[in-house]
Structure 1
Amino acid sequence: MQYEASRPQGPVLVQNLKDYSGRVPPQALDIEQYVLGAMLIDSEAVNIASAILPPDSFYLPKHTRIYQAICELFEKGQPTDLITVSEQLKKSRHLDVVGGLPYLDELTERVATSANTEHHARILGQKALLRKLIETMSKRITEAYDPATDAFELLDQAETDLFSISESQVRRSAKNLTDIVRDTIQHLQNITEHDGKLTGITSGFSELDELTGGWQDSDLVIIAGRPSMGKCVDADTPILQSDGSLVRIADLYERQHARLLTLGADHRFSITTPSAYVDDGLKPVYRVTTRLGRTVSTTLTHPFLTPRGWQPLGELVTGCSIAVPSELPVFGMKTVPDAHISQLVASILHPDRVMRPMADARGQLVKSRGLQKLPGWTFTLDHDCLKSFVDQLLAIKRSFRVSSRQLARQLAHLLLRFGILARVQHTAGDWTVTPMGTGRREEGKEQIVYDEITHIEARGLRPVFDLTIDDTHNFVASDVCVHNTAFALACARNAAMSSDRPVSCAIFSMEMSARQLAQRLLTSEARVNAQAARAGKLRQSEFDAVVRAANAFAHTRIFIDDTAGLGVLELRAKCRRLKSEHDIGLVLVDYLQLMQGRSKDNREQEIANISRSLKGLAKELDIPVIALSQLNRNAEDRKDKRPQLSDLRESGAIEQDADVVAFIYRASYYGIEFDKNKEPTEGVAEIIVGKHRNGPTGTVKLSFLKDYARFENLERYRRPEDEFITDSDEEQAPL
């Protein structure tokens, strides 16, 4: 081992610190002399001290040089007495600097016994640690006075410094190759001693572990998939906003802002804001029509709420029931004169007799004959004005005919604001709106009813969009309830519950709440239907299974943080604390695109900064960090829909920073029934390892149980003829 022979920086720093604070930094010169003297008279003292003290643990520069000379001789297996050390210092031209042979002789005379070397060495280590703290904090204090300093970056740097000091008193900027080779040989020996066993943290899936060797320390692992797996609605779908307006989902994507209705677990509506707006390109869409005349156009994979839970459209047929709102108590703030409301009602009920112009959505006057749709201001009326409109509409006729389907559905929608269910029918060239009574329930009761599907018809390729709704994962589209992390969560569960090497795991979820994650873990572990649990429809035997699953998790160490919009600095700070307090061995981030970076001007730069920070976190804590990421829609243009590295969304830096990139792919989700080997794809998920910095790439097939949102090792079917082989005499023998 070779140590730096140049003048150590410690004493220079000490002088600077003295000038800054007016006080002498912590030091113990007499103990330094005692430790060096003990090392000169006893080789065992060298062994003890060198294991505790790095070279910069000494306050005086000459003591540092003497210590380095002793350690160099010890590494070579040579004696470390007075004569050999003086010769070593003479070779490095430092003998006169340290005071010559007389000073070395003085050190040996100060020591009667080396019995207390370890105790004294630890005192020196503490003094050096205090000086290191003073050095670090003095730098940060100076930077804090600089007006150009970013406060959050400085806080992160200070916390990084403190964490590194707590891990080790010294952190060299570069290591000698000899040291690195020695560590590498030791690492390879440890791996060899595993005798083929897993060297990293298990994913819980045998073939994936065989491919990757487990999740390795300091690795950044990216698990990527398409957002919502193709669960999208047509671009023209109207979405009810909190101000009463109806806005196309395509327009919401352009605005990147919305406040809309979502259905809670109690089947009541509340206002929420999407966390992401997704353009999914062109896809085949299908129009669903119900007996009440409600319509919505979605992809086959988009789930609808049914009495059995959320089911994709591809699993529904005519005659199935889906949830629709029984009331939408949303009102705006706009008021208009009663004359405008009366004129609008008259133009609907008596279109042939009303000829006077009326105001449109922009306040301009237009002719009302043949009204095709309601003025935009109608939907944002306040409660009293809208009630006046509905009262006048229902006062004369029990049902009314209009010439436009859009107008008929708009009227049915406004009736729904007051809990009045209405049926829209096409009869004799016109559209009839028939109020059917109130759908309003008692206060606190459910705000949905189940409506029968009467038609499902293909509409061809259409632009489609989706919204990411945290917590509830659904929204109201065209007066129908529609739905919007299981693999990574399974990896965390398997790592924490491993029988061979359980580790503490930290899960940072910006998409789902802690309760939802816990519920998903419990239902998956208990093998009960997740939607039945969410709707409170578990049988007693299923509930008992959930309780048993909870008991199994009681002894695991999984920490969940559901802070929304978590920033890079906050994530790193929390991980450092968890590492220090609970020695976490795995971090899961769900998901990368929902994190907040420091750069707000350019989204790609922001994602690149987040990606680099996650890789830095993995190296700093020396644990694997798994981050979920979204893919762009390029895979949708391919025939087999298989993702690849170029599909990583928003930044190529993710691919560069990651040590492992894995894609989740389910062919059955895209209507592909058989793979290229003619094997069925139903219930099968592929984990495609597209990048592996330190190993091979490949594809692993897993079993996916969608009712439980659970991934398992795939039990491969073995043909009977595979059980036997033929020997040289052509007789069958057991394999």
Structure 2
Amino acid sequence: MSVARPIERVPPQNLEAEQSVLGSMLLDRDAIARVVESLRPEDFYRDLHRTIYTAVLELFERGEPVDLITVTNRLSGMGKLDDVGGATYLASLPNTVPTAANAEFYAGIVLEKSMLRALISAGTHIASRGFEGMDDVSALIDQAEKLVYGIAARRHIQDFQTIKEILKTSFEKIDKRYQEKGTVTGVATGFTDFDMLTSGLQPADMVIVAARPSVGKTTWASCVAQHAAITQKIPVAVFSLETSKEQLVQRILCSEARVDNTKLRTGFLADEDWRKLARAMGNLSEAPIFIDDSATLSVMEMRAKARKLKAEHGLGLIVIDYIQMIQSYKRAENRTQELSEIARGIKSLAKELDIPIIAISQLSRAVEALGSKRPMLSHLRECVTGDTILWDADTGRRHTVGELAGRNQWPRLLSLDRTGKLVPVRPTAVIEKGTNAVFEMRTSTGRRIRATADHPILTPDGWKPLRELTRGARVAAARVLPVFHAGTAPLTPDRLRLLGYLIGDGSYQRHRGLSFISADPATFEDCIAIAEREFNVVARRGASNGTPEVDFATVYPKDGMHRAYGRPHGNPLREWLRELGIEGQSTYNKRIPDSVFVEADHAGLRSLLRALFSTDGCLTRRTYHRNGIALWSLHYDSVSLGLAEDVRDLLLRFGIISQISSGYKSKKGTVPIYRVCVEDARQLAAFCQLVGIEGRKGALVNACAAELATRRAKPQIDRLPYSVPADLWGLKNA
């Protein structure tokens, strides 16, 4: 008994049409110009035809003659003349052409067969991936759409039209407007002045609505969609990448019912409000508004959904909120190029569907610095580097912009309100911009930010782009950061004091002993006492070059006679440092753990700072002989810039403003030392009152506080020039 075998099917192809295309190109140079617009080398089924077509294209692009002799010579130079059948096969091609005038029709046949083969290949690929079941279903569907629409895009090849043909269509539109005699010829927005200027939203137009945050861009666009759908019965598609569909519908409902949105959110509705809402719901339920609130969409996905919606319901307007949140399949060199690609895709969609598209765009606050308030392309909002620190308003945790860029939801962050106060605000989007020129701005207090030239900086004269600032310009900076406490079990003041000792003069690198060194007896004994009490470790005392040193270990009995250090359970003190995320840090990359900024309360932060300044801090009094004035100075030194910035941020929790400077211990020094310095009399007095120092250095704190109390403080930092507006003086003293 014989087994039936499946019949091998030949892919769609037409070799005669391929030969006719090539023969026409060898006979008539004008035929080449008509064919190259639609055909690519890969559209030919036979490899030898692809090779011949490639040779013809190369000659045509160089402006050289294209005939049997030149093509033969070119193929010979490429080393592929024998692969295509030699000069004999080339000479036979012109003989297969009935007439070169039909080259476009032959090319159409070749393109049609090529698209059929591409569809078969795409279908086979999709089917095989589907059977494998390894991919996410949504990702597989997106890939399938991309393949199919990539093939479909080959059909839309635009050619020249004579002005006679275009005039006919234009005259029909003019005649229609004459019959209607209206000032609005497109989609009316409901805003009379806007419609008078634009005659409405015209077909194939992409209208970009750009402004800084919180000025009503989404509200304006939803009002336009509401007016078009309810008043004009025009089907409207809304791609709401930022706002959820429930929030958007609530806005539209309040607008239609003329009910305050705050009442709807809080539930304090009067009987009349309920009647208004009922009438509005009746009107809106019949409105042809279609909302898609997918958080991640590409232009290709929008095109697919818009095509389907237009085929099923008709479509007269699209609203996109907003353009920066659209994803791009292509990985551009930077975000600006990516946005340009997205904008071109949206414009192409508007032309294809012949409808207007409203695209909302976020701008930076730098637009406020301009007298005309006119937005510019440079005001797009992506401006800072990925390592820029942002503060979580609810937990106090430090986030980098790079960490937030990959998320779909973001925490509330500290930001400025219109009165210049720090308030919690949830970002609308954090988007990666790509490679860009970056500049670093440093203040006299050592604060720094790396950003693009158009990043907005707040000055006494309002927001200004970074490029407009000059040396000595005044910029706004935080004068105090709130003390956060997430409500979890906080780090105790004793443990934080021990942490401060170890960060300052301790060593906890991997594969080395866990030790602490100090010449201050009070600090030395306090560190040992906390470690033994909290972690049950054994302090093995010693000395290093005459300075007391202690090594912390855990002793477990072994065989009843010998002792095992750290086995089998490990050193609990080292495990605690590992949990905090700092175990293994060297002197050059020490940092204060992130959990300290989240869990430590006011008393805990005070203990940590007191311990830090007792190790690598210094409080000195200098007398200047010229005028006999004695000045106090407080500083903390570290070879880790990150640790210096952490100490500065902790001081800011208490409202103490410090400066960071850098230098070298000697001319031969190779490692910079970063100094956190507090010299302003008011800031020093605040430090003495609110923080202080542990150990023998603490005695100087009392002397400093007593002397400063008898003086009239003259601010050295945090000063404002007399030229600033009076309201800034009020804000500073508030």
Tell me the TM-score normalised to structure 1 length. 0.34
Return the structure number with greater helix share: 2
Tell me the TM-score normalised to structure 2 length. 0.34
Higher relative contact order (CA closer than 8 Å, sequence separation 6+): 1
Return the structure number with greater strand share: 1
